[in-house]
Amino acid sequence: MKNVQIFSTKSEFDNQTAAAIIAIILATLETRPECHLVLTGGNTPRGVYSQLAGFSRNLIEWQRVHLYWGDERMVPPEHVDSNYRMAKETLLEHIDIPRENIHRIRGEINPAAAAVEYAALLKEKFHHEPRFDLMLLGVGKDGHTASLFPGTKAVVEKKKLVAEVFVRKLDSWRVTLTLPVINNARQIMFLVAGKSKAEILKKIIRAEPPTTDLPASLVRPTGGELYWMLDADAAAKLGK
Ligand code: 6PG
């Protein structure tokens, strides 16, 4: 398995992952007018985004970076569960990025409408198949990534760019990018930390062939690079 980095502590994970993201943004802006970056939700990225905000202050021309979300919980943007709110608190409020470069999924409207609206935004931004420069992803303990949860139709969606999904065990709606969009990214970076992810990460890495039971195992960039940024706790069972 290539492109795997394992960091001994969570703070090293946060620092080094933020540095890796900055390096990819800078490299992209060397050759392209803009960088299109997809943020992941959940808790793991909080420290990474805070470091990203701090390190990038005089390094990144944020006016040339467009931010998107890989998924969103269907709640208002100020709701404690909102992935947009998490990114706003840890990153957006601390960098000089134009509001028009921030493309959140509207969690406050009807899920199906939000999915259609976001797909239209992607078509407007990319004019063709959306090809993000960097796609950040997390992994859930059940093997989900973004909001592609095991057993949901969204996992096997091949046509839509964005799908609404009712997650029974959470009794809640989500909106998520689909695998064709995720796998079309130039670079995909999984951020996985904590003991609770060690078992599922071992299963995902070993899943051959990939399986819809472990949606994260289906993330295989069609023409890009895949990076795994792990802390030692999450990587503890990889060699076993
Ligand atoms: C979300 C994320 C989801 C997340 C995993 C891991 O909306 O929750 O997009 O895919 O990355 O559930 O979450 P933690 O980082 O909180 O463990």
What integer is the mean pLDDT of 223-228? 96
Can you tell me which atom of ligand 1 is nearest the CA of 145?
A: 10
Instruction: Fill in the amino acid letter for 234.
Output: A
Distance (Å) from CA 181 to ligand 1 centroid: 18
Query: Which residue's alpha carbon is at the smallest distance from atom 7 of ligand 1?
Result: 41
Q: Is the peptide bond before 111 cis (omega within 30 degrees of 0)?
A: no
| Residue 130 token pair | 């959306």
pLDDT for 141 beyond 80: yes
What integer is the mean pLDDT of 220-228? 96
pLDDT for 240 beyond 80: no
Which of 10, 44, 217, when mutated, tests ligand 1's pocket best, judged by the most ligand atoms within 8 Å of its CB?
A: 44
**Contact by Cβ (8 Å): 189, 20:** yes
Q: Each residue of 56-68: pLDDT tens digit? A: 888 999 999 999 9
pLDDT for 1 beyond 80: no
CA quadruple 44, 46, 51, 53: dihedral positive or negative? Answer: positive
| Residue 123 token pair | 């078509």
Distance (Å) from CA 166 to ligand 1 centroid: 16
Please report which helix (H) or strand (E) contains residue 80, including its range.
none
Residue with tokens 């390094």: 59
Which of 43, 84, 139, 148, when mutated, tests ligand 1's pocket best, judged by the most ligand atoms within 8 Å of its CB?
A: 139
For residue 41, the SS3 value is coil
Give all strands (DSSP E) within the chain, no chain letters: 4-7, 35-39, 65-69, 71-73, 102-103, 134-137, 162-167, 172-177, 187-192, 225-231
What integer is the mean pLDDT of 126-138? 95
Cα–Cα dist 173/112, whole Å? 10
Distance (Å) from CA 145 to ligand 1 centroid: 7
Can you tell me which atom of ligand 1 is nearest the CA of 83?
A: 7
CA quadruple 186, 70, 101, 227: dihedral positive or negative? Answer: negative
**What is the reported pTM?**
0.98
Percent of the chain with pLDDT over 90: 96
Q: Each residue of 165-211: pLDDT tens digit? A: 999 999 999 999 999 999 999 999 999 999 999 999 999 999 999 99
Distance (Å) from CA 191 to ligand 1 centroid: 10
Distance (Å) from CA 186 to ligand 1 centroid: 21
Query: Which residue's alpha carbon is at the smallest distance from atom 14 of ligand 1?
Result: 42
Q: Each residue of 6-49: pLDDT tens digit? A: 999 999 999 999 999 999 999 999 999 999 999 999 999 999 99
Ligand 1 binding site (Cβ under 6 Å of any ligand atom)? 40-44, 70-71, 83, 138-140, 144-147
Q: Are strands 4-7 and 225-231 parallel, antiparallel or unpaired?
A: parallel
At 127 the pLDDT is 84
Distance (Å) from CA 198 to ligand 1 centroid: 15
Q: Is the peptide bond before 209 cis (omega within 30 degrees of 0)?
A: yes
Query: Residues near 44 by Cβ (< 8 Å), separated by ≥ 6?
Result: 138, 191, 192, 193, 194
By CB neighbour count within 10 A (0-12 exposed, 13-18 middle, 19+ buried), where does 30 fall? exposed
Q: How many residues comprise the chain?
A: 240
